[in-house]
Amino acid sequence: MLKPYFLLIFTFVFASITAQTDVKNSKDYPLLERLPDYSIIRYAESEFDAQKFYYDNEYHMVEGRKFVIEYSHNNRDVTNYEFPTRLQILRNYSSAIKKAGGRILFERHNSEHGYYSFETSNGKEIWVQVKTAISGKSYTLIIIEQEKMRQDIVIDSKLIKNKLEIDGKIALYGIYFDPGKSIIKEESEPALMQIANYLKDNPSINCWVVGHTDSDGSFELNSQLSLARAKAIQEELQKKYGIPEKRLFAEGVGPLAPLASNATEDGKKLNRRVELVKK
């Protein structure tokens, strides 16, 4: 979480300067103030957009409110002026972000880009790309405010009914477990309640509860975990919601039925799921 001394850190590191040459209607991002002697020459803000961020040896698309702020040094036309190096610019931002509890996603001394992220106290994940010019005369911040994932719209009994009638199955993404665990988390209750409502409204329907995983880890452990999670849901529906034991059957198939490639994090998220399958 964001530490309370976050703004003090940035004030100390960057010694914010508001230049008179900033473009009209531009401003520093509230938590990422500029380096000394730089002015804003380009500013764009969009309610919803996307940007690629590089980490774990590949690019990942992040969506949310987007800010693009380009800074230019006030002495860029001065001959023989010693501008900050690329690494100096990157390290100024990465040092402050690390001290505030954030993380470096990618940063290399000979690279023009640095990628970082941190979390604010209100649950927003902030993604930051710092792009530097080779001379140090300018640099650009690309910022995405990604809301922490919420289950605003959970599955409902009508959706379950429609999906089972059409496809014979439905993926249940509103049921949550800690990594590597099979204990159902409290925030799963709305989804479980809707499954129970569907089963009670359709007493002639019996279902498989099938656990799935991504391909990380051994096949044996993934198979065991997927079955344990399926059984946990089966038992929760029986004990807490009164669904008869004879109507639900648990099985785990580990990574054997992926919905997407396991080569990306987005694909892995789709593959880590539990499905309700009409028997």
Residues in Cβ contact with 32 at an 8 Å cutoff, skipping those fewer than 6 apart: 10, 93, 128, 141, 143
- Give the Cβ contact number of residue 49 at 10 Å: 16
Tokens of 87: 């690494």
Q: What angle (nearest 5°) sits at the alpha carbon of residue 156, between those of residues 155 and 162?
A: 95
- Cα–Cα dist 228/134, whole Å: 53
**β-strand pairing of 248-252 with 207-212:** parallel
Write down the pLDDT at residue 16.
41
Check if the beta carbon of residue 23 is closer than 8 Å to that of residue 43. Answer: yes
- Cα–Cα dist 220/227, whole Å: 11
Q: First vs last Cα of the chain: how many Å apart? A: 44
* Mean pLDDT by groups of 10 residues along the chain of 279 residues: 41 44 91 91 88 89 91 92 93 86 86 87 85 94 77 71 90 84 90 94 96 93 96 96 96 92 80 92
Domain ranges of the chain: 6-147, 157-278
**β-strand pairing of 207-212 with 169-172:** unpaired
Task: Compute, in degrees rounded to 10, the torsion defined by CA atoms 152, 157, 159, 165.
Answer: 160
Tokens of 3: 């530490």
- Cα–Cα dist 77/85, whole Å: 16
Write down the pLDDT at residue 194.
93
Q: What angle (nearest 5°) sits at the alpha carbon of residue 235, between those of residues 232 and 240?
A: 120
- Cα–Cα dist 119/84, whole Å: 28
Among 97, 137, 131, CA closest to 111? 131
Q: Where are the beta strands (DSSP E) in the chain?
A: 38-55, 58-73, 103-107, 113-119, 124-132, 138-147, 169-172, 207-212, 248-252, 273-278
Check if the beta carbon of residue 163 is closer than 8 Å to that of residue 156. Answer: no
Among 220, 278, 279, CA closest to 252? 220
Q: Output the CA torsion sign for 258, 260, 261, 265.
A: negative
Class of the CATH-defined domain 157-278: alpha beta
